[in-house]
Structure 1
Protein backbone atom coordinates (compact mmCIF):
# COMPACT_ATOMS: atom_id res chain seq x y z
CA UNK A 1 0.00 0.00 0.00
CA UNK A 2 1.20 3.55 -0.74
CA UNK A 3 2.52 5.62 2.14
CA UNK A 4 2.88 9.31 2.98
CA UNK A 5 4.87 11.31 5.52
CA UNK A 6 2.99 12.00 8.77
CA UNK A 7 4.37 14.62 11.13
CA UNK A 8 2.79 15.45 14.48
CA UNK A 9 4.16 18.55 16.18
CA UNK A 10 3.16 19.95 19.57
CA UNK A 11 4.48 23.16 21.15
CA UNK A 12 6.95 21.06 23.17
CA UNK A 13 8.39 18.75 20.51
CA UNK A 14 8.10 16.72 17.34
CA UNK A 15 6.15 13.63 18.44
CA UNK A 16 6.03 11.64 15.23
CA UNK A 17 7.64 11.83 11.81
CA UNK A 18 7.52 8.77 9.58
CA UNK A 19 5.95 7.09 6.57
CA UNK A 20 2.49 5.65 7.31
CA UNK A 21 -0.33 4.04 5.33
CA UNK A 22 -3.20 6.01 6.84
CA UNK A 23 -4.02 8.49 9.57
CA UNK A 24 -7.48 9.27 10.92
CA UNK A 25 -7.58 12.76 12.38
CA UNK A 26 -10.31 14.48 14.43
CA UNK A 27 -11.19 17.33 12.06
CA UNK A 28 -13.66 19.92 13.30
CA UNK A 29 -16.21 18.65 10.75
CA UNK A 30 -15.73 15.01 11.78
CA UNK A 31 -13.27 12.13 11.56
CA UNK A 32 -11.11 12.43 8.45
CA UNK A 33 -9.06 9.64 6.90
CA UNK A 34 -5.83 10.63 5.17
CA UNK A 35 -4.16 8.39 2.59
CA UNK A 36 -1.33 8.95 0.10
CA UNK A 37 -2.53 11.13 -2.77
CA UNK A 38 -5.08 13.02 -0.64
CA UNK A 39 -6.35 16.33 -2.00
CA UNK A 40 -4.55 19.35 -0.54
CA UNK A 41 -6.35 21.06 2.34
CA UNK A 42 -5.96 22.70 5.71
CA UNK A 43 -8.40 21.69 8.46
CA UNK A 44 -9.04 22.72 12.04
CA UNK A 45 -8.80 19.93 14.62
CA UNK A 46 -11.09 19.38 17.57
CA UNK A 47 -10.13 17.44 20.68
CA UNK A 48 -9.87 13.76 19.82
CA UNK A 49 -7.61 10.86 18.93
CA UNK A 50 -5.34 10.52 15.90
CA UNK A 51 -5.09 6.87 14.82
CA UNK A 52 -2.04 5.88 12.76
CA UNK A 53 -2.15 2.77 10.57
CA UNK A 54 0.90 0.86 9.35
CA UNK A 55 0.93 -2.61 7.75
CA UNK A 56 -2.86 -2.79 8.10
CA UNK A 57 -2.74 -2.28 11.91
CA UNK A 58 -3.35 0.75 14.12
CA UNK A 59 0.12 1.33 15.57
CA UNK A 60 -0.31 4.64 17.40
CA UNK A 61 -3.14 6.47 19.11
CA UNK A 62 -2.44 10.06 20.15
CA UNK A 63 -4.82 12.47 21.86
CA UNK A 64 -4.80 16.04 20.53
CA UNK A 65 -6.62 18.89 22.26
CA UNK A 66 -7.05 20.87 19.02
CA UNK A 67 -4.92 22.51 16.37
CA UNK A 68 -4.59 22.36 12.60
CA UNK A 69 -3.61 19.83 9.95
CA UNK A 70 -2.15 20.54 6.54
CA UNK A 71 -2.70 17.72 4.06
CA UNK A 72 -0.96 17.35 0.70
CA UNK A 73 -0.75 14.32 -1.59
CA UNK A 74 2.66 13.38 -0.06
CA UNK A 75 2.40 14.62 3.55
CA UNK A 76 0.13 15.34 6.51
CA UNK A 77 1.46 17.80 9.08
CA UNK A 78 -0.49 18.10 12.33
CA UNK A 79 0.18 21.17 14.45
CA UNK A 80 -1.45 20.26 17.74
CA UNK A 81 -2.18 22.61 20.64
CA UNK A 82 -1.34 19.66 22.87
CA UNK A 83 -0.61 16.01 22.02
CA UNK A 84 -0.26 12.98 24.29
CA UNK A 85 -0.05 9.26 23.57
CA UNK A 86 -3.37 7.71 24.67
CA UNK A 87 -1.51 5.25 26.90
CA UNK A 88 -0.22 8.19 28.97
CA UNK A 89 -3.63 9.79 29.59
CA UNK A 90 -5.01 9.85 33.10
CA UNK A 91 -8.70 9.62 33.92
CA UNK A 92 -8.17 11.82 37.00
CA UNK A 93 -6.43 14.52 34.92
CA UNK A 94 -9.23 14.42 32.34
CA UNK A 95 -11.90 14.74 35.04
CA UNK A 96 -10.07 17.73 36.54
CA UNK A 97 -9.91 19.35 33.10
CA UNK A 98 -13.62 18.82 32.65
CA UNK A 99 -14.36 20.54 35.98
CA UNK A 100 -12.12 23.48 35.04
CA UNK A 101 -13.62 23.74 31.56
CA UNK A 102 -17.17 23.62 32.92
CA UNK A 103 -16.32 26.48 35.29
CA UNK A 104 -14.76 28.48 32.44
CA UNK A 105 -17.83 27.89 30.27
CA UNK A 106 -20.19 28.97 33.04
CA UNK A 107 -18.09 32.11 33.58
CA UNK A 108 -18.24 32.91 29.84
CA UNK A 109 -22.05 32.85 29.71
CA UNK A 110 -22.24 36.67 29.52
CA UNK A 111 -19.08 37.05 27.43
CA UNK A 112 -18.61 37.45 23.68
CA UNK A 113 -19.68 34.62 21.37
CA UNK A 114 -16.02 33.97 20.51
CA UNK A 115 -15.10 33.44 24.16
CA UNK A 116 -18.10 31.19 24.72
CA UNK A 117 -17.12 29.16 21.65
CA UNK A 118 -13.53 28.86 22.90
CA UNK A 119 -14.76 27.77 26.34
CA UNK A 120 -17.05 25.16 24.75
CA UNK A 121 -14.20 23.86 22.56
CA UNK A 122 -12.07 23.47 25.71
CA UNK A 123 -14.88 21.56 27.43
CA UNK A 124 -15.44 19.26 24.44
CA UNK A 125 -11.68 18.56 24.22
CA UNK A 126 -11.62 17.68 27.94
CA UNK A 127 -14.54 15.27 27.45
CA UNK A 128 -12.78 13.71 24.45
CA UNK A 129 -9.69 13.28 26.63
CA UNK A 130 -11.74 11.43 29.25
CA UNK A 131 -13.27 9.19 26.58
CA UNK A 132 -9.79 8.38 25.25
CA UNK A 133 -8.41 7.73 28.74
CA UNK A 134 -11.27 5.35 29.53
CA UNK A 135 -10.85 3.48 26.24
CA UNK A 136 -7.10 3.00 26.72
Structure 2
Protein backbone atom coordinates (compact mmCIF):
# COMPACT_ATOMS: atom_id res chain seq x y z
CA UNK A 1 0.00 0.00 0.00
CA UNK A 2 1.21 3.47 -0.84
CA UNK A 3 1.89 5.74 2.13
CA UNK A 4 2.30 9.47 2.60
CA UNK A 5 3.50 11.85 5.29
CA UNK A 6 0.92 13.05 7.86
CA UNK A 7 1.38 15.67 10.55
CA UNK A 8 -1.19 16.75 13.12
CA UNK A 9 -0.13 19.95 14.83
CA UNK A 10 -1.90 21.71 17.70
CA UNK A 11 -0.88 25.02 19.28
CA UNK A 12 0.75 23.04 22.10
CA UNK A 13 2.62 20.32 20.21
CA UNK A 14 2.87 17.88 17.32
CA UNK A 15 0.51 15.02 18.13
CA UNK A 16 1.50 12.87 15.18
CA UNK A 17 4.16 12.89 12.50
CA UNK A 18 4.72 9.85 10.35
CA UNK A 19 3.76 7.78 7.35
CA UNK A 20 0.14 6.67 6.95
CA UNK A 21 -1.98 4.72 4.49
CA UNK A 22 -5.05 6.95 4.82
CA UNK A 23 -6.53 9.68 6.97
CA UNK A 24 -10.20 10.49 7.49
CA UNK A 25 -10.78 14.15 8.37
CA UNK A 26 -13.98 15.95 9.44
CA UNK A 27 -14.08 18.91 7.08
CA UNK A 28 -16.88 21.47 7.17
CA UNK A 29 -17.84 20.19 3.71
CA UNK A 30 -18.12 16.60 4.97
CA UNK A 31 -15.80 13.75 5.87
CA UNK A 32 -12.85 13.35 3.53
CA UNK A 33 -10.66 10.29 3.13
CA UNK A 34 -7.16 11.21 2.07
CA UNK A 35 -4.97 8.64 0.29
CA UNK A 36 -1.49 8.85 -1.24
CA UNK A 37 -1.50 11.03 -4.37
CA UNK A 38 -4.64 12.95 -3.38
CA UNK A 39 -5.28 16.12 -5.34
CA UNK A 40 -4.09 19.27 -3.56
CA UNK A 41 -6.74 20.85 -1.35
CA UNK A 42 -7.08 23.23 1.56
CA UNK A 43 -10.19 22.87 3.73
CA UNK A 44 -11.56 24.00 7.07
CA UNK A 45 -12.06 21.37 9.77
CA UNK A 46 -15.01 21.07 12.08
CA UNK A 47 -14.85 19.45 15.52
CA UNK A 48 -14.60 15.71 15.16
CA UNK A 49 -12.39 12.67 14.96
CA UNK A 50 -9.37 12.31 12.71
CA UNK A 51 -8.59 8.66 11.98
CA UNK A 52 -5.09 7.93 10.69
CA UNK A 53 -4.55 4.41 9.36
CA UNK A 54 -0.89 3.58 9.87
CA UNK A 55 -1.08 0.05 8.45
CA UNK A 56 -3.46 -2.86 7.95
CA UNK A 57 -5.58 -3.03 11.11
CA UNK A 58 -3.57 -0.27 12.83
CA UNK A 59 -4.72 3.26 13.37
CA UNK A 60 -4.70 6.26 15.64
CA UNK A 61 -7.63 8.50 16.53
CA UNK A 62 -7.54 12.15 17.51
CA UNK A 63 -10.14 14.75 18.49
CA UNK A 64 -9.79 18.08 16.69
CA UNK A 65 -11.74 21.18 17.63
CA UNK A 66 -11.48 22.84 14.24
CA UNK A 67 -8.59 24.07 12.16
CA UNK A 68 -7.25 23.74 8.64
CA UNK A 69 -6.21 20.74 6.58
CA UNK A 70 -3.74 21.08 3.71
CA UNK A 71 -3.15 18.24 1.27
CA UNK A 72 -0.62 17.96 -1.53
CA UNK A 73 0.60 15.02 -3.63
CA UNK A 74 2.93 13.69 -0.91
CA UNK A 75 1.71 15.01 2.44
CA UNK A 76 -1.23 15.99 4.64
CA UNK A 77 -0.90 18.59 7.36
CA UNK A 78 -3.57 19.45 9.90
CA UNK A 79 -3.16 22.69 11.82
CA UNK A 80 -5.73 22.17 14.57
CA UNK A 81 -7.16 24.86 16.82
CA UNK A 82 -7.27 22.18 19.52
CA UNK A 83 -6.27 18.54 19.28
CA UNK A 84 -6.04 15.61 21.67
CA UNK A 85 -5.60 11.89 21.53
CA UNK A 86 -9.11 10.42 21.53
CA UNK A 87 -8.43 8.56 24.78
CA UNK A 88 -7.91 11.97 26.46
CA UNK A 89 -11.42 13.13 25.52
CA UNK A 90 -14.44 12.74 27.78
CA UNK A 91 -17.65 14.65 28.51
CA UNK A 92 -15.81 17.09 30.80
CA UNK A 93 -13.41 18.02 27.99
CA UNK A 94 -16.27 18.51 25.54
CA UNK A 95 -18.28 20.52 28.09
CA UNK A 96 -15.25 22.80 28.56
CA UNK A 97 -14.93 23.26 24.78
CA UNK A 98 -18.64 24.13 24.56
CA UNK A 99 -18.37 26.59 27.47
CA UNK A 100 -15.38 28.27 25.83
CA UNK A 101 -17.28 28.63 22.54
CA UNK A 102 -20.32 30.05 24.39
CA UNK A 103 -18.13 32.56 26.24
CA UNK A 104 -16.39 33.65 23.05
CA UNK A 105 -19.76 33.93 21.28
CA UNK A 106 -21.13 36.21 24.02
CA UNK A 107 -18.12 38.52 23.57
CA UNK A 108 -17.93 38.35 19.76
CA UNK A 109 -17.14 41.81 18.36
CA UNK A 110 -19.03 41.54 15.06
CA UNK A 111 -21.61 39.53 13.13
CA UNK A 112 -19.05 37.52 11.14
CA UNK A 113 -17.39 36.31 14.33
CA UNK A 114 -20.80 35.62 15.90
CA UNK A 115 -21.81 33.46 12.93
CA UNK A 116 -18.50 31.58 12.98
CA UNK A 117 -18.72 30.92 16.72
CA UNK A 118 -22.40 29.94 16.51
CA UNK A 119 -21.53 27.36 13.86
CA UNK A 120 -18.62 26.10 15.98
CA UNK A 121 -20.94 25.77 18.96
CA UNK A 122 -23.45 23.76 16.93
CA UNK A 123 -20.67 21.51 15.61
CA UNK A 124 -19.33 20.90 19.12
CA UNK A 125 -22.79 20.02 20.43
CA UNK A 126 -23.39 17.64 17.51
CA UNK A 127 -20.01 16.02 18.07
CA UNK A 128 -20.72 15.60 21.79
CA UNK A 129 -23.93 13.73 20.94
CA UNK A 130 -22.11 11.44 18.49
CA UNK A 131 -19.27 10.95 20.99
CA UNK A 132 -21.71 9.89 23.72
CA UNK A 133 -23.42 7.43 21.36
CA UNK A 134 -20.02 6.01 20.39
CA UNK A 135 -19.00 5.56 24.05
CA UNK A 136 -22.31 3.85 24.83
CA UNK A 137 -21.87 1.32 21.99
TM-score (norm 2): 0.83
Trace 1:48-63 onto structure 2 (pairs within 5 A): 48-57=48-57, 59-63=59-63
Tell me how far apart the structure 2 counterparts of residues 69 and 100 of structure 1 sit (CA, whole Å): 23
Match for residue 91 of structure 2?
91
Q: Is the 8 A contact 1:47 1:124 kept in 2?
A: no
Cα shift readout 1:56-90 (whole Å, capped 9, x = no counterpart): 33511111111101101110000000001111112
Match for residue 44 of structure 1?
44
Match for residue 120 of structure 2?
122
Q: CA RMSD in A?
A: 2.3
Match for residue 20 of structure 1?
20
Tell me how far apart the structure 1 counterparts of residues 52 and 95 of structure 2 sit (CA, whole Å): 26
TM-score (norm 1): 0.84
Offset of residue 28 of structure 1: 1.2
User: Residues 99 and 14 from structure 1, CA distance in 2 versus in 1: closer, same or farther, beyond 3 angstroms?
Assistant: closer
Q: Is the 8 A contact 2:46 2:120 kept in 1?
A: no
SS of the residue 1:48 aligns to: strand
SS of the residue 2:12 aligns to: coil
Tell me how far apart the structure 1 counterparts of residues 129 and 85 of structure 2 sit (CA, whole Å): 14
Offset of residue 118 of structure 1: 2.2
Structure 2: unaligned runs, 5 residues or longer: none
Structure 1: unaligned runs, 5 residues or longer: none
